[in-house]
A and B are shown apart, each in its own frame.
Chain A
Amino acid sequence: MLAERLGDDLRDLWTDEDTVEYQVDGARAHDVLATLRDDEDLAYFMLADAAAVDYGPGAHFEVVYHLFSWKHPGWLRIRARVDRDDPRIASITDLWEGAMFHEREMYDMMGIVFEGNRDLRRIYMSPDYRSFPQRRDFVLPDDAADSPAAGVNPLERPETWDLTRFRDAPGVTFPPSSERADAPGEAVEAGETMASKSRPR
């Protein structure tokens, strides 16, 4: 049934005892989900989960949607691939309003930009935070000298600060850096730590 309706978009069928899994292109994810929700025979009316997975530097991101329908026995998992250097995907908040917090969390933790989401800001971290802590290259501090995390400052990863390339994304209005009153990314001087800079004054 799924393959009939969405033959070209769905790839790589994979199943386990109660899950059916397909992969789609990131650019087609929104349309596929809209069809899955609106088609009467499919009727995946509920978004059970939306999560982002990082496959590490040099690889890609994945946004994983889990859907539920009364008419089908298993959970449906849709894995949408997102480019890691330019992580953008269409927002599904127009299909499910409740995807808002999911997408805000994915943006906060992974830095994936959801185009068309009108409230894409940080949800757990503070607004002046500039890193994406659940990426694979954001390593937790570790005392062991041979660990990849030895000597890492766990609070911020400066190379992920620059968000200006997302300035043109619809629904995301990043202020120009000159207007930013409290912009730590640009204003950090040598020797000054992020913690002292981001404290409210």
Chain B
Amino acid sequence: MTKIDPDITIPDPIDLDRAEEERLRAAAGLTPVRTPGGEYAGFEQVGIPDRPPQTEREREIYTLDEGEMLVNMGPQHPSTHGVMRLVVKVRGEIIVDIDPVLGYLHRGIEKLCENATYTTVLTYVDPMDYLSTMHNEHAPAIAFEKLYGVKAPPRAEYIRALVVELNRIFSHGLMMGFLALDMGGLTPILYAFINRDEIVDMLSSISGQRMLFNFFRVGGVNFDTNDEFLSRLGTWRGRVLKNIEMNERMITDNEIFRARTINMGTLTGQQAIGLGVTGPNLRASGVPFDVRKAKPYSIYNELEFDVITQQGGDSYSRYLQRIAEIKQSIHLIDQIIDKMPHGPVQAQVPGIIRPRPGRAYGAVESPRGLYSVYAISDGGPNPYRFRMRDPSFISLQALPKLMPGRLVADTMAVMASLDPVMGGVDK
């Protein structure tokens, strides 16, 4: 750091425009303001013990130019969708850089699963991405069935597809509500929760639990459909389109909503692929990648549907993509109910299974993107290695790329449009 001559007084740089400031500094014989590796003073500002930076990137974000400061957003911020901290470098109200700090919800689920039997693993993965619990169970079930060499009966596959699509609908519906909530609109989230509760009650009548369903088993599902489930499904199906359209009418053409989402947080398709963004966020950027179509699992190659894409890549496109996918899921549910065969819902599988040594990869399209499981068996009752790729964890990397140059208030709006769930991010 350059020693400043005490005899020369420089006016407060924030009050001057940049050119004037540079001129004054040059006249005073000082270095320009934007020297790489300026004063390294970050850690104390965000309330963590001072220590040297460990990496180049850490040095970069915790090094401040004049006029910049670091602000903690979170970990208990009301709109971080869980417990996450964003270290935000701001110049006035403009964001310069963002560093997400994760791990507040880390439970070590992968390690726990290595010490659990294959059936128990399906209960451990439930609380990961707690808005798409059915998908969390689907991918391990696929991987374990490959490992064990068993196939679920057709009716089980249809019930799986049914509950998974129901789960997708309420997850996307909640995203619409949270997106509006993070911009200050309280009403849509209430309607979103009403719609969610209908589906959650329906799923609890088939699985017995309300949030962490624990419904999938290796080689099938836990229960067959029952009368209560089917009656709730029929009632819900009768009015769901009206409910969705009401929610949509409330948000889609809202002037404030449009002003704060159109051209905000734009991801190009190329960028999104490079960053590992998948799911609706990727399709909103125009890339037609959907695991249900690209690598069909379960019964998706028997159903008729197209991959929906949007061209914008901004927050508004991501919102429209969710609405389109809700309607597509309803269409899929109609087909599933039409085609559902009779038969058993579970293959004959013992409680503790010991697959032959081998490896298996199971991937599903969760509401947040490509959710995959890589399981290794060594012949014992526990998986030797159990790896989960959570889509919201990877998609979160897009946030620091999207925000520089935007206002602080837009961070949460863009983050809600990416729809991360911290239970999945932190595993």
Footprint of B on A, CB under 8 Å? 16-19, 21, 45-49, 51, 53-54, 64, 66, 68, 70, 74-75, 77, 96-102, 109, 118-128, 133-134, 140, 171-175, 179-182, 200-201
Cβ–Cβ contact B57 & A123, under 8 A: no
Cβ–Cβ contact B57 & A133, under 8 A: no
CB < 8 Å neighbour of A46 from B273, B361, B385:
B273
If over half of B's interface residues share one DSSP class (helix, strand or loop), that class is named, otherwise mixed; here it is mixed
Cβ–Cβ contact B51 & A181, under 8 A: yes
Q: Range of interface residues on chain B?
A: 35 or more
Q: Is B53 among interface residues, defined by CB-CB distance under 8 A?
A: yes
Q: Which of B15-23, B105-113, B191-199, B250-258 is near enough to bind chain A?
A: B105-113
| B427 neighbours in A (Cβ, 8 Å) | 124
Cβ–Cβ contact A200 & B48, under 8 A: yes
CB < 8 Å neighbour of B294 from A68, A96, A121, A200:
A68
CA–CA, A122 to B101, complex, Å?
Answer: 10
21 A-B residue pairings within 8 Å (CB atoms): A18-B361, A21-B359, A48-B363, A49-B372, A49-B387, A51-B374, A53-B387, A64-B374, A64-B387, A96-B275, A96-B276, A97-B275, A101-B394, A101-B397, A118-B55, A118-B57, A125-B103, A127-B54, A140-B111, A181-B50, A181-B51
- Map CB proximity to A onto B396-426 as digits: 1 under 8 Å, 0 otherwise: 1100000000000000000000000000001
| A181 neighbours in B (Cβ, 8 Å) | 49-52
If over half of A's interface residues share one DSSP class (helix, strand or loop), that class is named, otherwise mixed; here it is loop
Cβ–Cβ contact A127 & B397, under 8 A: no
| B110 neighbours in A (Cβ, 8 Å) | 109, 134
CB < 8 Å neighbour of A140 from B115, B387, B389, B426:
B115
* Closest B residue by C-beta to A120: B55
CA–CA, A76 to B58, complex, Å?
Answer: 34
| B53 neighbours in A (Cβ, 8 Å) | 173
With known contacts A119-B57, A171-B56, A173-B56, A125–B276 Cβ distance under 8 A: no
| A66 neighbours in B (Cβ, 8 Å) | 361, 372, 374
Cβ–Cβ contact B397 & A51, under 8 A: no
With known contacts A64-B374, A101-B396, A180–B363 Cβ distance under 8 A: no
User: Can you add 4 more A-B contacts, CB < 8 Å, to A48-B363, A173-B53?
Assistant: A17-B146, A49-B387, A124-B427, A125-B106
State the total of A-B contacts with C-beta under 8 angstroms. 129
Interchain nearest-CB distance for A101 vs B (Å): 6
* Closest B residue by C-beta to A56: B384
| B50 neighbours in A (Cβ, 8 Å) | 181-182
Cβ–Cβ contact B276 & A47, under 8 A: yes
| B59 neighbours in A (Cβ, 8 Å) | 173
Interchain nearest-CB distance for B396 vs A (Å): 7
Cβ–Cβ contact A173 & B374, under 8 A: no
Interchain nearest-CB distance for B386 vs A (Å): 10
Q: Is B212 among interface residues, defined by CB-CB distance under 8 A?
A: no
| A175 neighbours in B (Cβ, 8 Å) | 51-52, 54
| B49 neighbours in A (Cβ, 8 Å) | 181-182, 200-201
CA–CA, A180 to B170, complex, Å?
Answer: 49
Cβ–Cβ contact A97 & B361, under 8 A: no
* Closest A residue by C-beta to B147: A16
* Closest B residue by C-beta to A142: B115
Chain B positions 1-56 with a Cβ under 8 Å from a chain A Cβ: 48-56
Cβ–Cβ contact A99 & B54, under 8 A: no
Interchain nearest-CB distance for A93 vs B (Å): 10
CA–CA, A21 to B54, complex, Å?
Answer: 35
CA–CA, A180 to B50, complex, Å?
Answer: 9
| B102 neighbours in A (Cβ, 8 Å) | 123-124
Cβ–Cβ contact A121 & B394, under 8 A: no
CA–CA, A28 to B372, complex, Å?
Answer: 25
Cβ–Cβ contact A98 & B58, under 8 A: no
CB < 8 Å neighbour of B146 from A16, A45, A122, A180:
A16
CA–CA, A121 to B87, complex, Å?
Answer: 15
| A128 neighbours in B (Cβ, 8 Å) | 51
CA–CA, A199 to B90, complex, Å?
Answer: 28
Cβ–Cβ contact B103 & A126, under 8 A: yes
CA–CA, A127 to B146, complex, Å?
Answer: 38
Chain B positions 259-309 with a Cβ under 8 Å from a chain A Cβ: 273-277, 289, 294-295
| B108 neighbours in A (Cβ, 8 Å) | 133-134
10 A-B pairs with least C-beta separation = A98-B276, A119-B57, A124-B103, A175-B52, A51-B387, A124-B106, A98-B275, A49-B389, A118-B56, A97-B274
Interchain nearest-CB distance for B105 vs A (Å): 9
* Closest A residue by C-beta to B53: A173
* Closest A residue by C-beta to B47: A200
